[in-house]
Chain A
């Protein structure tokens, strides 16, 4: 007991590492080196955030899974001690409550209202449509000049067209919602900008839900509108859910397409295997490995302890913030031998790129399908695809909630 006390005091006196931690120059795909040192030396360690708070940073795969699956750990950003990533997020969490920030049973009740369209079979039925969208975008790119920005020409429009169609949002408005959604997930955005972007998007979705109430179609917003009519949701709650699905549908897959392409171009042997295979299982395996390797939700899943929890030799106290750095967990050599090696033939299914526990990504079957179609089509149809600039010139999204590149100039 005395010893533990002494240790705690010793740790309190040491200056704590600041979080988030920077990546190493020249290693754009690797998790920050400091997180990997902690993983070896102090896998559950206190760190200091922007507001001076000192949550726990958890870096090992096993501890992360234990905590993410633990009902004593809350996702509610309104619980004191929750480690907000910045002021904008803290402000927004008061304004826009979604199932992402709720605990069971409320979380399960609301989440189940939107799970049906993401069931494996319903998503699989979209394969021909997604293939067509992919081929059309590649045709347009091939017909245009080079170099071209792969993000604007392909990586962003593809998931955007798909999620718009599923939700029933008119794609013509894409400039408006893409701009606002990128403000919302950029850590460098001011509080005012975040609040304004959130309001603009919520009002926009609110109007759409109202339109679907009057004139329903075969899409998710109409299903949500039906819930509003049945009194299960308020119109504002339905709009909040729409904002969440629209942003999630955009930012993640778009970044996986662009960043995945950069990673594959830097690993030509792996790219060649992917380009040549006809086996859908091999493609599916490659998708899992790229999800693991890149872990684009890169600054940690955030939680707060509701009770004292013993884990990995530490005691996390009730009210302590917890950051699960799943990007580092996905590079845990105990689960993924030689984690720094991109190996599209490995079995990477235990990765936590979609999170873990009850909040694990709802849209993962759709994301997987989009990535399988893209990775098995793009490099085959443009076999000479290459960067039109140096790797060191690419603008990486260090400040984003989702990692990726802002622009990807390519040629062929």
Chain B
């Protein structure tokens, strides 16, 4: 499964953390410094407890993140030795009292995962499919956006990673993060409002397409085995017919499997209104609409009509860019949480 699905990019990057400690602070290792930088990073105003804190998550400074997460991956978890049937082990001369080698990571890693809109310009519609190069462009565009909005925080975190010393500009950071990129194998995303047309497999077509030459080949084989040398009516050689037909059937079967895999790998189309600006606008409109409803309970038709007109004018439901909830907050109640 690739990084791209439902018009979102499921970005995963792993940056190896340097061993030891910086020469000017030998007391605190790079792993520790990375952890401290992460611990100091403010969370979004995403719960009543954090609603009133002074600082918001730096990821809320752009309009592309649905979710972002950074953590230190110390090592892989070790699940114990590979067990073997003792009798087999004895026969193979495998001494089970001897410790086996243990798989380890070569360094601790800073993991950065993000679920982002797969676009290169703010406001673009979500794409249904992108080439590998276009996906790289999306990643780089996103990295530049991060650099422009949170350079200070990124520098504090990533300066503990290998190879970050040369990163001084947005473009260099984009290249750096791209080197750290690994393919995401299991993206998670939200539900569709309306089910789109999925890439259903034309199962019957594939089945019959593969079976037809195979059946012809088998029939010709039977004829050939009982000594008939020519196919009745057509007059083809039975030997040539069964060989060619069965070979064709196997070739088509292989092609069908490849087609099924390729079809399965195609990204799912984006959901309607699934980009971040639409989500934020929807959250905003939903809250304001509830207020409108409450305020106009029992109002006359004319008053309701006027109020609704005012509502459209004030809250601009058709415009995703203005009068919308800012990223990283849970409510549009306070004016400071609204982008005018």
The yes or no verdict on A and B being binding partners is: no
